[in-house]
Each structure stands twice: as C-alpha cells, then as structure tokens.
Structure 1
Amino acid sequence: MSTPPSPPRFVLPHVPALVAGVRGAVLLDTDGEFHNLSLSEAASAARATPPLLCHGPAVAGRLGIEPFPCLDILELFAFVRPARFCLPTAKGVIEAAGLAPPADPEDEAEGLFRAARRLLEELAGRTAGDTAARAADTRSIAWAMARAGWSWGTAVLAALGVQGDAERNNGLRVWERLPEWSEHAPEPPPGNVPVEPDEARARLTAILGSGAEQRPAQADYASAAAAAFVPRDRMGEPRVVLAEAGTGTGKTLGYIAPASLWAEKNGAPVWISTHTRNLQRQLDSELDRLFPDPLEKARRVVVRKGRENYACLLNYEEQMMRNRPNEAVATGLMARWLLATRDGDMVGGDFPGWLSDLLGRPRTLGLADRRGECIFSGCPHFNKCFIEKAVRRARRADIVIANHALVMIQAALGGLDDANQPTRLVFDEGHHVFEAADSAFSAHLSGFEATEVRRWLLGPEGDGARSRARGLKRRAEELVGLAEDAPAALDAALAAAQALPGPGWQNRVLDNTPGTPTESFLSLVRQQVYARAAGGESSPYSLETDCRPLIDGLAEAALELAEALGRIGAPLTRLARTLEKKLDDEAAELDSNTRARIEGLTRSIERRVLVPVAGWKAMLEELVEGTATSGQYVDWFGVDRIDGRDVDVGMHRHWIDPTVPFAKAVMEPAHGVLVTSATLRDGAGGPDWGGDGNWDAAEKRTGAVHLTAPALRAAVPSPFDYPAQTRVLVVSDVRKDDMDQVAAAYRELFLAAQGGALGLFTAISRLKAVYKRVAGPLDEAGLSLLAQHVDNMDTSTLVDIFRAEHDSCLLGTDAVRDGVDVPGQSLRLIVFDRVPWPRPDILHKARKSTFGGKAYDDMITRLRLKQAFGRLVRRAGDHGVFVLLDPLMPTRLHSAFPAGVAVRKVGLAEAVAVTREFLAERQD
C-alpha cells in the first residue's frame, strides 16, 4: 500500500546545460557561467558530465559523436504532457512551457532550466488535482523509471512527493486502466438518398458560418462533388467525379459538405482517403468546424490506418514483463502515452514523432503489430485493443479518414478488416492514386519478403527465438483440434515452410552457399544481376536487370521453388477451408469468441501467406514458360543496396498500368467515387495524353478510363493571383553536375530570402553534398538549416520545426515536396536542384513505351513541378519565388506553372537579386 505523498519539492538537477549549433555550442556550467565551445570541445564536455539538453540524438549528431548519457528535457515533457506535441528544440520546449521565446543560444541554455522547473510544477499541480487512482498511477510509473536509473527520476519523484520505495509499479499495467470497446448489432445497409447540388452548397454555408468570406469557387466545387453522392444505375458503374481544385479553393470543406450530408441521410460512413499523414491530420482538424463538440466528433469521425500504425497492448505487456533496466524509461513513457492517447495511433496521431528518436524504434514504434502476429480474440487484451476499437467505430461513423494504401490493399483483399466495403469514397491528393496503386498491386519475391512469411509461419528462430513473436502453430494450437484434418494440414505446411530463407540467408546468398530452394533461386538471381547490371559491384546504388534470358540453372531453380511454394500453399488452403467448414457445420454450438478466432486466423492465413505465395508461384512458372508479362506486367530482377552493401535480392512484378486493378478492385464495387487534387491534369502533354486541358491524362492516371460509365469532370481555378504573388526563375549559368556551384547557388539564394526556404533534391547524395557546404555559412548568418536524411529526426518533425520557425531552411527530397503544407512566411522560396525527370529504370521504360514515349516523361515531370510549385502559395497573403537550377529546362515544361506566370531564364546573380528584392518588397 502506498504511503501518502509528501509536499512537492522542486529540485533541478545540478548539471550543465548544452545547446549545440552547426559550428559551435554554448555550455552553461553549474556555476552559472556561459562558455562558447567548438563542437569538439562540446563533445568532450558532454561525455565528461551528462548535460541538460533538448533532443539528445540530434545534439549528438551535431557534435559528431554517438548518443551519450544526458538529461533530455523532451523526456520530462513526454512524462508531464503525454500524447501532446511540442517542437523538439530548446526554443520549442521553452515556448511550450509558456515562457518567453529565447533570443540567442545563451537564452536557450538558461531557458532549459526554467522550462524544466515549469514542467515539474505543472506535474505536481496536475497530479494533486487528479483522482486518487490516476495520481497513484503517475507516482508508480515515475518510481519504476527512477528505480531503473532515469535521469529525471529524483526530480520527478520530489515533485510528486514520493519518498522511499513505497510505490509499486502497478501503474505500468495500463491495460487494467483502459476502457473496453463495446460490440454493437450489425449496421443496416446504407441508403440510396442522393445529395443534391443545392444541398451541398447549403451544408457548406452552414459549416463555414454566417460571417465567413464568400468563396463562389468553393461552392461550385461542393456542387460538382455532390455528383459522386448520387445512386448508381448499374452494378460496376460507380458515379465517378474527377475534380481539380486549384490551391486556395477550399476543396477539403468543399467535399466534406456533400460527404457528411450523404452519411447523415443514408446511415453509412464516407471514407475519405489521403496519401500523407499531414493531410490526415489536416482533415481531422478541419472537421472540428463541422463537429465542434469533441464528444460528438469522437463518435462521428474516425481516423483509420493499417494495423501496423497502432500500439499493440500485448507487445507492450511483453516489454513491461521483461523488466529490463535499459527499457524502463521507454516502458514508463509509453505507459504514460497509452493512458492518455486518443486512439493508440503511433504514426501521425498524438504520438510525438521525436519520442521514437529518443527511445529507439524497437521500444516505441516496434510495439505496433508490424509483422502480422496478431492473435485477434485469442489476445487477453482483445476487448481493449486500439485497432479493434477503431474498426468498430468506423462502422458507425459518418466520416472515416483513411489513406490510399489502406483502402487499396484492404479492398483488393475483399474488405476493410471485416469484409465491409464502403460504398462512397473520396480520394484526396488524387494525383498520388497511380503511385499508391502501383505499390498496392505489385509483388516482390525477395529474401526479405520470403523471410517474413517464414517467420509468420514458424515463429522466431535462432537469436530471435526469445522474442514474443508466435508462429502459426502457437497462434492456432487451440483451434486446429476442432477439425479432424486440421493438425495434419498444419504440420505439412510448417514442414514445407523450411524451403523459405532461414536465419543467416543473406550471408549464404552472398557466398553462393544456399541452404534452401528459395536461397538457391536468390543466389542465381543475384549472379544474373551482377553479371548484367550497369556498374556492378562498383556502384553504391541498387542494381536491376531484365529477367530474360535466364542464366544457366536459374530456370531449374525457379521450378524447384515454385513446387516448394505449392507444398506450402496446398495444406494451408486445406487448413483454412477445414476451419471455415467448422464454422458452418457447428454454427449453433461455437461460442462467439471461438468463431471470431477462427475467422481471424483464416483471414490472416489468406492475406499473410496464401495471397503472396500464389503470386510468387505464378511469377516463377511464367518466368520459365516465357509468358511472364503478357502485356500487363513488367518483371525484373533486383539487388537492393545501401552504401554499397547488399540488403535484399529478388524478383519484382508490377502492373504496367496499376490503375487497371485499382479500377477493378476499388472503384467498380463502389457506388460513388470522388478523385480530387490541385494537380489532376497534366496542363499540356502530347497527343497520346489528349487535349481538353489533358483530362484524358487525368482519367488514365486515376483509372477512370477503365470504367464503363464516363467520369464527370470538374475544374475550379485557384483564386490566387500567381503572376503578382510569385516569380519563377530558371538559372542558366550553374552547372548542375558541379556540386560546389550548386551549393553556392543554394547558399546565396537562401541568404537572399533570409530563410523561409525549401531546397528540393532529386537524389539524397546531392542533398547531403549541399548540406555539408552550406550549413556553416547559413549558421553564421543566423539561419538554422534542417535536412532530411541528415538530422536525426523523422521527416514530419522536421517539417513541424520548419513551419514554426519562420526564418529556417529545410532540405528534402520527394517526401518533403509532396507532404509539406507550410503557409505564410515560413515558406517563401523553393529551390529545385534540377528538372525532376523520372528515373529511367526498367519499370519506367515499360510504362514509357506504353503511355506515349517522351510525352509520358514530360507529363510526369510537369506534374512534379506543379506539385512543388503548389507548396509556395497556400493562402491569399502568401508570396514567393520558385528557382530551378537547371539550364536545360525545356520550354515545353513551362506549362507546369499557372497561366500568366512568366518563366524567366536568368543568371545566378540576377536570380539572387530578384529573390532579394521581390521578397523584401512584400515583407509583413
């Protein structure tokens, strides 16, 4: 029994504070003296005495050393304010604590102590006001962390009034505190009441409120989107609307208006699918205007993602029960988050992305079900499972915010977790449908993929045998005995699984000493790739080559592997059918829990093993027979490499046109589909992609061309005055292959803009080369530089920092180009290192041949330029400059930019002058 807490005491650790920059650091010692240090001096000081700092991995990266012991204020923040975000910088934490923003690094160092004290005071006050049970949980978790040596342990226990070893760590058993989800009767089928255009306009007006600015284009867009919410007339002929809405139209609320109205009228959810986590968060935020009451919104709006995005309570329990001191801090902070989270979403939800940087992915994001090992109703935490709760809430919601990958993969497999498919879909960021479908409907017979199947079937082997992961036998052991033929079928499948790559397969494939049929096939694939791919072993990049003609022995190895895969699939199919028959034969006797477990097991067998194995077997047989493509697919062999080291090898198959299966599996079963984006149409293009503003191109990229009934087309222009608000410059005198010249251009342009600059790159190596050359000069000028693939932070965190700090600069690649939404002064300059032509790989070669040759290259490139330029102006008051450092930019690509925007070809000196003058004239 816990003793009553003592009065809180606020005892700050007696340590130095450290703030590191690009070229130097500031240390505030324990005597209150500031020291300006070189990075090497700061590294020595940090290793000598653990300092107070913000984001230890990032600081270690700046100092050029491995992470070291420290007092990271972000750990304290995560304990005091679980499931809440702050910028993971000294300035960000200080401001989040409600203190005045620091003016310089000295202020930041001192501010870290003030922020720490403020957080401890907040913790003491909140805990004092909590219920006795919640307060006990907080003290118990803190005690467990302190006992394991948490650097903040003493200060936190003092603030909580905990003395001695009286607290037990029951607070870590979070599953005992979480509410259970409740089951409901099956939902009735959706109605077929249409949404009329005038109704959509009226709903939009209601959402915006009476005092909102009148935006006729937004109302026109909502009216056009309503056509996707009209009943269909024939099976397989959904009402499809392709709607291009220029930036600033307000398309999000424009389609929410008819979507929410249809859901209310017909008693069924509308699934809104996006491509990026940022837009999922934005959508969730926008829906506050429709549902201002948080409780009502929680009932009517659900964010859905794949199972691998949610925390698994069983994984957490296993980590907690291991009781390892080196995991105690992570376990405690995860316990705090699990008790506070809205829905258990660890990727883009209320889990701070920087927490995995601090604690390590295995102890944070690794708690999600990333290997498909869920045992469904066999789990002791099934009735409290975040994933199962989200699935059930989605059935009764009005709006489900999903993502392209989830919608496509689940629809292709016959339903969203439980065979329920939505009848109304909205695909926002519709320009990504082609790429998302390409990923969802591709197949990869690689060492990594095959190893995952083996692991799912047999469980961990070798060094991994001590993990919690369960093989199929353990997951199914209580069920196979229910059917007479099931045990033999299971044993046969598990024996056949030995043909898949075993532990250590990478070394055996590399040494050409294979031990299984899969490894024999992969060894010969690797031999063919290295024999025929350009560059070979001298290339640091991944390699690929055509499948045919096959080298000696590869056909035989492929047939042997195909037969081995058949020996896996046949008994598993028999097992699944036997169990399904049990459901039918004993429908009256089986309890609900057993029925749910059988359904979950058979569904997992189908999705995790039978579907990929059948695909691999077909690929191998067609490879040998010479019928591998049939005009629909493109196959190739590849070796994935990182820094010149092999990490995977295999055979790959993609649809030449992935919108064919997308249209069949996703669009045709639906009753209405809205595909929308600011960049659906090409804007130009060759004759193969059609005229009329290139709507034909939009229909081909979205799959609408494969449907029987024609799609309705709608285009609403942007309200922005792009000729007045933007400048587009093509620099003609910088050699794009000379990284010194390229880096000098970035440096001078960023300085001319005084920050607020986004640098985009077509290759990671070019990004890193520029970063090395410009980080110091920008730091001297007082401009902070953030860089994807350089800073030890995930991309979303870097974007959050960039958005908040108006004068920072960010370097990034495709993920930044497509995922940034940074309005206002934070983004006023975009610099692209060169024309973003598509990569000339085997897959692109096949598509280029099918879709119109050079016109296809131009279309893809124009769309990429349009998407990048679209980041620049997000609100009416925004303005900015777009610079392309490529003198070979062809004039036929100029139509990627809005009508009326002149593309000027200038020298670097003039580009710098134009940037400086244009932005200076428009400073707030």
Structure 2
Amino acid sequence: MSGGLTSMLPLPDVPLLTVGLKRAAWVDPDGSFDDLAMNDARARLLQERVPPMVVHAKSVARRLGLESLPAFDLLELFAFVRPAEFCLPTVRGLLDVLDLPTPSNLIDEALALKDAATVLLAELRAGRDREAAAIAGRMNGWPWASYVQVALGDVEPGTRGFAVWRALPEIPEGGPEEPPSHHPVQPEEARRQLAAIVGERAEARPSQADYASAVALAFQPRDVPGEPRVVLAEAGTGVGKTLGYLAPATVWAQKNGGAVWISTYTRNLQAQIDSELDRVYPDPAQKAARAVVRKGRENYLCLLNYEELAGVAGNAPQPGGAVAAGLMARWVAATRDGDLTGGDFPGWLPDLLGRARTLGLADRRGECIYSACHHFDRCFVERSIRKAKRAEIVVANHALVMIQGALNGGDDGAVPARLVFDEGHHVFDAADSAFSAQLSGGEGQEVRRWLLGAEGGMRSRARGLRRRIEELITDERMAADLDALLKFAKDLPGEGWPERLAEGRSAGPVEAFLALVRQQVLARQTGQGDALYSLEADVRPTIPEMQQAALDAKAALEALKTPADRLIKRLADRLGEEAEDLDRDVRRRIEGAVRSLERRLVIPLTGWISMLSALNGEEDKDFVDWFGLDREGGQDVDVGMHRHWLDPSKPFAKAVASSAHGLVVTSATLTDRSGDGEADWKAAERRLGLPYLSLEAVRAQVASPYDYAAQTRVFVVDDVRREDIAQVSAAYRALFLASGGGALGLFTAISRLKGVHGRISADLEDRGLPLYAQHVDAMETSSLIDVFRGEEDACLLGTDAVRDGVDVPGRSLRLIVFDRLPWPRPTILHKARRNAFGGWGWDQRLVRLKLKQAFGRLVRRATDHGVFVLLEPLPSQFKGAFPPGVVIERVGLAEAVRRTREFLAERSLDG
C-alpha cells in the first residue's frame, strides 16, 4: 500500500502504532512489524521512548493505560492541513476522508499511516500557503512543525502568524430594521413552496404536503394580544417535517420581511436543518444572506480570549500552548461562523488540545466588553446577531429562545414573533432548565469571579467588572457604587470553598449557609452519607441553625444587589441624559454593561434572595425547593439550594409563547399513545403551557409512511436477571454479535454501562466489531456518534444524551438494546411533579415517550430495518410506545438472538 507514496516527502523516522481493544500493531521504521498484546506495546513505548505516529494520541494512550503519549498525531496534522473539515477521529475515518484504501487489520492500518501523512504534506506543498508557514514557524514543540516547513519549501512565511483575526472581514453595518408585515400564508402557498423546494423529480409525499398545509395555519395574523396562532403538529418519522415547516416559514418571511426562528433541542438536528436549508437556498451566497444559525454567545470563540492564548503561547510558551494556538489559528481563519459546539469545529479537537485551549476560548462567563473590544467589528457572536436581524430563517436552540424570552430579547433585543419548536417533546425540559435557580458554591464563585476577576495572583483570562466598565464610569456616585459592588462581592464563595466547607471553616455568610446545607443533606440520608453519587434532601424541616444562616446570607446578597441596582440605573440614565453626545460605540457599551449586570448579577441575586426568604416564610406552591450535594467519583463538587418551577410550562407560556404571533410545536413523539387520544393531546398541551394562554391550538397528526411491522422487530427478553451485570453483559454481547454490529446499547445508569463495556469490549473486537462508549472513550459525545455513524459495523453504548442525539440512517444502526425500562429517577423534584400531574400516570407517560423516542432512532428512511430489544418484561400499559401494527414478542434471550440474526440477515439480502 505504501510503496508509491512515501518517497514523495520526508517523513518522521518513527514507529507506526495502532491499537484495538486487546491487541496493538507496531511497525518499526525499517518496515518490520509486530502484533502485540497491550501490555507489550506499552512496555515497548516506555522502553524505546520514541514518539510513534498514531491517530488520536489521547485515545491510544487511554487504551494502553498511559496518562499521556508524546506522538506524531495525524489528527493534529489533519487539523492543520484541512481546518474546519470533518473527519472521523479514527484510522479508518482519516483514510476514508483522504480517499485511501480501507485496511483489513491492525497491521495494515499501521502501514497506512505513512500514506496518510504523505497525502496531507503533499497538499500543503501544493497549496503554498504563506500563513500556514508563518503559523507552523511559531508552533514550538509540535512534532510535525519541521515536516510542515519542509513540505512548504521556499514559501515565504506570511506576516500574521497567530494573529489570524487581522484577516477576518469586518461586519457590515446596516440600517434600522423595519417591523415585519402581517400577511397570512395560505395552505395552498405552503404546498406550492414545498413543491418548488423538493423539485419536480422528487418522490411524491402527500403526507408532507398535508403537514405543510397544517403548519401554515400558524402563519396567520393574531387577533388578540398574548394569544398566538398555535399549531401542534405530530409528524411520524419519514414525513419530512423539516422541509414541511420550512415551506410556509420561508413564504411568510418573504411576504412580510421578517424572520422565522426554528428552535431545536439537539445539535444534531440543528446541523440537519442547516443542511436542508441548502435545498431551500441552492445558491450559497443567497443562503449566507438569508439563513443563519444562532446559538448563545457561550458557544462561539471569543477572539479576545484567543488573542490572549496566542500571546501567552508566543511570549512564554507553555507545554502544548503553542501547538493549541497554532491549530486554533488555522481553524479561526477557515471557520464559517466561529461555532465551537458544532458546525465546522472538529468535535475531537478538545480531546487533543484540552478544553481550556479550545472550548474554553468561548465567553462562558459573560465577560464580553462589547464595543470596547478591538475585535468587536469582527466578532463571531456579533456577526451572528447582526445576520439574524436581517435573515429569513434563524436556526436556534431551545435554550437560547428561552433566554431571549425571559430577558425580553437577550443580548440583541430580538423577541422572535414567529417560532417553530422542532423536537417539541423537549420544550418542557428546556423550560425547566432555563427558568430554574441554584444558589450553590459553584454558582456563587462564578458570580464572584465575574465581578472581581482572577484573585490572589492567579494566572487567568478572567477579567473583572472594573476592567470591563471603568471607562463608562463618569462621576463619583457611579464610582462609589462600583466600589461597593466589588467590596460586597467578597461575601460570595471564593477559591477553595469546597475544602473549607468540608473542614468546617467557611468564610463569609454565604459559605456558612452552604456549610449547613451540606450538613443537612448528609444528616438526612438513610445510610448513604458516603455514597459515590449526588445526594439531596428536603429543605423542611431545617436544622436549628439554618434559618439564621439564611437570614445572614440574604442580608449579604441584598447588600450586593443594592449598589448593582443603583449602578444599572445610573448607566441607563446616561443613555437618555447624554443622548445627543454619546457616540455609537459608547452607547453600545453602556447597553451591553446594563444587560450583563442584569443577566449575570441582578437576576440570579433576585432569585437567591427569594429562595432564602422562603426558608423563613411560607412555602411557595409554584416552586419546588431542595438542598443538593453534587458528587463525582465520591468527591464533593458543589452544594447548594435548588429551585425549579413545579410547572415550567407556566413561565414558558408567559415569557415565550405569549409574546409570539405564531407558534408551531412539532415532533414525531409529541403525544403519548395511552389509548385515550383526547387525553394524550391534552397532556401534550399541558406540557407546553397552553392552558395558561386560554386559547385553542390547531392539532395536526400525520402518520409515518414507513411500514414498521415489516421493517422492524420488537423483542422483550424475560429470562435475563436485570440485577446480575454478568447476565446483562452476556445478553448485550450475544445480541451485538447476532446483528454483526450496527448496534446501540442504551442504559439508564452510567455504572451499568461501564460494567457491560468492561465485560464485552474485548470479545467484540475479536469478532471485528469495534465498541465505543460514552463516559469511557476519550471523545466528546458528538464525536462518538460521528464515529458510530461512519463505521457500519461499530457498536455504541450510551445514556439519554446518546439516545436524543443519534440520527443514524442505514445499516450503521440496525439494533437497539435497552437495558431496562427508563423510569424517571425518584428525585424530590420528580416526586413533586408526579403528585401534581397525575400520580403514576405521569411516570407511565414519561416512560412511554422515552421508549417511543428510542424506537424512533431505528428507522430513519424507507430502506432501513432493525430490531429493538428490551431486557426487562414490558407491562401492557407501555405497548403504546410502539407504532400500530408492530408485534411485541416476549421471548427468551436465545430466541431473541436467533431471530435477530435471521431477521437482519434476510433484510440485508433483500437490500
């Protein structure tokens, strides 16, 4: 394989290494090779101390039981040569994207590494990129640097180096936005637009046109303030709902000069919608102008943070700092939108470079200084905000939309008037998160850091409030307010608070309160005080000292909030009093400072003060309060008081839905199938808060075109002891082997997932079936799903996050095994909601919806087929989770294995 390519360019004279789960392949520079046990491969690495050539060094190190592995990592070279391009973080994934032959074993994989390196270096030579040469010249300590420079040859290095922001285009300014008109979209218009989008040659899909017609009813003018036009549309998998709602949405946007916001719950669906928009706007320039993906600012790279990383890496190089700065520089120069949590950012790059030097470059602490930043006119966040103001379609997520509603427009003042909530079954959960509050050590420390910046000589990019707004302080009263604010900030938990609480030496009134919270949680456990996992306790009755401690903490927070309120008012007054003199940038900075102070300080303080007041007053029936102690691996990581709405659809209805003119909520699993159709619709409406709006929603239900009875099988295995992890593991092993891979194992507990992985991974590898696992493999969940999707015979183990994020059409997903019924955890919050929303019927509804959602992953297109296996008896009340016509068969494990093998083999031959 490697003979014709490797003579083109000099390559590192180092061993080539690939690893499986039990064996490793080692190829010496002279071409001799060995098939080694993992222990032998580890020993050879430690003995020879030569950095090998590998793919994904962190993953290789983990499989070999090493903390780190200095190496010529081909993923790093790929990220340098092809920044902002997708690649599976595996040997086969890399070879595939480079159009190199697929190897059949570990030895061939190792031999192919040189071919991959040669192709990448040859691309650099052909490109003659001056800025690549400049960046490589500054990447001190990067093993590939000298080889990159040789490949670039006599190319004169550019002048920017790490300062790639200088080449980014400035954001064009636009005039004031005009409010949209209110012309309706007729169902016939939606059908015509859909036909134009899908094209004349597309397969006829009457159900998709019916769906588009129904959704169009949400694009009528509203008649009463606070009462939007609402359509609840359940569309089975295969209907094509994305284009179905984009058709009337784009008609409305073009007729009225406004934007329709499409909100999703998962990154995966957001990326799918972005891809489908290529059909709506075939011209890339037109798409760039009319459609934008919006996320919260914490998802985008902050150029100021990157500049500080680049400065540190260039002036006083830290181990890996210059490498991270260089690879991030290449991505910054190539990215479409600067999105670190999707889009064109390689999901595996944080695994290689560390989160602090990748995802940590986002503005995750709300420290933006807006127009005071010299990157403001090139800022990725600002670019997305300005584009969204003039777009026709804005693809966002539930969290951002909730924040926009709660804060009356959020960062940009935009309150979406026309909204489509895809993955509508998650609106309740998204609202639950968005409208909750948590007074904890971790949250308090974040607010303190936001106000004071790095303390005690710590090296950090954290910028305190004084540094961010001192140029806006124009008189002594404002200066006094700022001084008081920063003084009282020291009453919040500071660095080292977990150790102080554990040792009984809390500092300040808030830490003293949290110490008692921790004491009460531990005291109220029933023999589980040393548990590895998180603990919780009711807030009432309190231990004796708690009420006074709550009063003291409340007083401290009120002392902090008072100067914050005054400072916000004085800053806002400047906007009116100096309107004629303020230039645009100063006005922007003031507006940004006011929004930040309200969002990052006043809103949480208001919630915390209310929570503490409740401990000395009457219980508020709208809320559920509890004390919690968060643990990871038996170590305390946070402690605090939590508050959630008993019914989070209530604030959602008030803050988001009532301000909209039109609202579409859609999903394949919007309603339950309890046997009472009217009750199912009413339950869906209740979870969306529609009873609080006093309006009638349009209900639409379009069945899937798929023949689930023919395309799927459902087996309920009744002879595996659920408590015996050995039996559960044996079941997973046998079923995964029967399917020949393409298998997704879903778990309700991480500990069970890890236990099964440890018992079956080696056996599957011996059969040629790679096994990946959430919480085990050194990859982000999105990368694991990408690998699973890209390798037809791979297997994947995961929890809820994998179930909700997986969209894997074709043979890559042909078996789903669920370890047990997904009952909700019996937390204090869940028990309160169960009592309020129908008792055990509430629990059963949640289980059915989760099963329905999991089963829906199995068939994503007409040619798909697959098997769903539950390793626990299925009570009759849960059979409605599966489509009509699907026969649920109760069988033993041996029978399930045999019939899984036979069904998938038959369908494979049919395909």
Fold shared by both chains (TM-score > 0.5):
yes
The verdict on how the C-alpha distance between 1:463 and 1:745 changes in structure 2, with shifts beyond 3 A counting, is: farther
Aligned partner of 1:677 in structure 2 is 667
Aligned residue for 2:616, secondary structure, equals: helix
AA partner of residue 348 (structure 1) = G
Contact 2:131 2:158 in 1 (8 A): no
Distance in 2 separating the partners of 1:483 and 1:846? 50
Aligned residue for 1:478, secondary structure, equals: helix
Contact 1:462 1:503 in 2 (8 A): no
Distance in 1 separating the partners of 2:805 and 2:692? 29
Distance in 2 separating the partners of 1:169 and 1:211? 51
Identical residues among aligned pairs (%): 60
Q: How does 1:97-176 map to 2 (within 5 A)?
A: 97-127=98-128, 135-145=129-139, 148-162=140-154, 167=157, 170-176=160-166
Of 166, 185, 193, the residue aligned with 1:195 is 185
Aligned partner of 1:453 in structure 2 is 447
C-alpha displacement of 1:693: 6.3
Does 2:882 match 1:881? no
Aligned residue for 1:125, secondary structure, equals: helix
Distance in 1 separating the partners of 2:169 and 2:448? 35
Distance in 2 separating the partners of 1:408 and 1:802? 32
C-alpha displacement of 1:153: 1.1
Aligned partner of 2:383 in structure 1 is 389
Which segments of 5 or more consecutive residues in structure 1 lack a partner in the other structure? 1-7, 128-134
Aligned partner of 2:463 in structure 1 is 470
AA partner of residue 478 (structure 1) = E
Aligned partner of 2:293 in structure 1 is 303
C-alpha displacement of 1:340: 0.4
C-alpha displacement of 1:33: 1.2
- CA distances 1:277-310 after superposition (whole Å, capped 9, x unpaired): 0001000000100111111111111000010110
Aligned partner of 1:437 in structure 2 is 431
Does 2:260 match 1:274? no
Which segments of 5 or more consecutive residues in structure 2 lack a partner in the other structure? 1-6
C-alpha displacement of 1:534: 3.2
Aligned partner of 1:44 in structure 2 is 43
Of 326, 332, 348, the residue aligned with 1:332 is 326
- CA distances 1:152-183 after superposition (whole Å, capped 9, x unpaired): 011110000159xx857632111111111022
Does 2:640 match 1:641? no
C-alpha displacement of 1:446: 0.5
Aligned partner of 2:841 in structure 1 is 855
Contact 1:18 1:109 in 2 (8 A): yes
Contact 1:457 1:472 in 2 (8 A): yes
Higher mean alpha-carbon deviation, 453-462 vs 425-434, is at 453-462
Contact 1:144 1:169 in 2 (8 A): no
Distance in 2 separating the partners of 1:428 and 1:184? 30
Aligned partner of 1:354 in structure 2 is 348
Aligned residue for 1:170, secondary structure, equals: coil
Aligned partner of 1:740 in structure 2 is 726
Distance in 1 separating the partners of 2:546 and 2:875? 44
Of 753, 757, 760, the residue aligned with 1:771 is 757
Contact 1:833 1:886 in 2 (8 A): yes
Q: Normalising by the residue count of structure 2, what TM-score does the alignment of the two structures yield?
A: 0.97
Aligned partner of 1:404 in structure 2 is 398
Does 2:521 match 1:558? no
Q: How does 1:833-844 map to 2 (within 5 A)?
A: 833-844=819-830
Does 2:862 match 1:872? no
Distance in 1 separating the partners of 2:699 and 2:461? 52
- CA distances 1:51-86 after superposition (whole Å, capped 9, x unpaired): 101001111111111121000000110110011011
Contact 2:130 2:158 in 1 (8 A): no
Of 479, 487, 493, the residue aligned with 1:495 is 487
Q: How does 1:281-680 map to 2 (within 5 A)?
A: 281-322=271-312, 323=314, 324-326=317-319, 327-462=321-456, 464=458, 466-480=459-473, 482-625=474-617, 627-628=618-619, 630-680=620-670
Q: Say what the alpha-carbon RMSD is for the aligned residues.
A: 1.2
Contact 2:746 2:819 in 1 (8 A): yes
Contact 1:834 1:884 in 2 (8 A): yes
Q: Normalising by the residue count of structure 1, what TM-score does the alignment of the two structures yield?
A: 0.96
C-alpha displacement of 1:416: 3.7
Contact 1:483 1:578 in 2 (8 A): no
C-alpha displacement of 1:94: 1.0
Contact 2:131 2:157 in 1 (8 A): no
Aligned residue for 2:872, secondary structure, equals: coil
Aligned residue for 1:745, secondary structure, equals: helix
Of 750, 773, 776, the residue aligned with 1:790 is 776
The verdict on how the C-alpha distance between 1:423 and 1:168 changes in structure 2, with shifts beyond 3 A counting, is: closer
AA partner of residue 350 (structure 2) = S
AA partner of residue 773 (structure 2) = A
AA partner of residue 687 (structure 2) = R
Distance in 2 separating the partners of 1:214 and 1:136? 51
Contact 1:880 1:919 in 2 (8 A): yes
C-alpha displacement of 1:798: 0.7
AA partner of residue 621 (structure 2) = G
- CA distances 1:601-647 after superposition (whole Å, capped 9, x unpaired): 0110000000000100011011111x23x221100000000111111
The verdict on how the C-alpha distance between 1:344 and 1:443 changes in structure 2, with shifts beyond 3 A counting, is: same
Distance in 1 separating the partners of 2:131 and 2:282? 31
Contact 1:24 1:36 in 2 (8 A): yes
Aligned partner of 1:86 in structure 2 is 87
AA partner of residue 41 (structure 2) = A
- CA distances 1:417-458 after superposition (whole Å, capped 9, x unpaired): 221211100000000001000000000001000111111111
Aligned residues: 897
AA partner of residue 107 (structure 1) = D
C-alpha displacement of 1:705: 2.5
C-alpha displacement of 1:45: 2.5
Contact 1:245 1:716 in 2 (8 A): yes
- CA distances 1:246-288 after superposition (whole Å, capped 9, x unpaired): 0110000000000011111111110000000000100000010
Aligned partner of 2:237 in structure 1 is 247
Following TM superposition, where does structure 1 have runs of at least 4 consecutive aligned residues deviating by more than 3 angstroms? Answer: 166-169
Aligned partner of 1:918 in structure 2 is 903
Contact 1:729 1:904 in 2 (8 A): yes
C-alpha displacement of 1:533: 2.3
C-alpha displacement of 1:467: 1.8
The verdict on how the C-alpha distance between 1:193 and 1:825 changes in structure 2, with shifts beyond 3 A counting, is: same
Distance in 2 separating the partners of 1:296 and 1:126? 28
Distance in 1 separating the partners of 2:158 and 2:177? 44
Distance in 2 separating the partners of 1:241 and 1:425? 11
Contact 2:8 2:118 in 1 (8 A): no
Aligned partner of 1:909 in structure 2 is 894
Aligned residue for 2:222, secondary structure, equals: coil
C-alpha displacement of 1:44: 2.2
Distance in 1 separating the partners of 2:125 and 2:691? 62
Distance in 1 separating the partners of 2:749 and 2:600? 34
Contact 1:9 1:161 in 2 (8 A): no
Aligned partner of 2:4 in structure 1 is none
Contact 1:143 1:168 in 2 (8 A): no
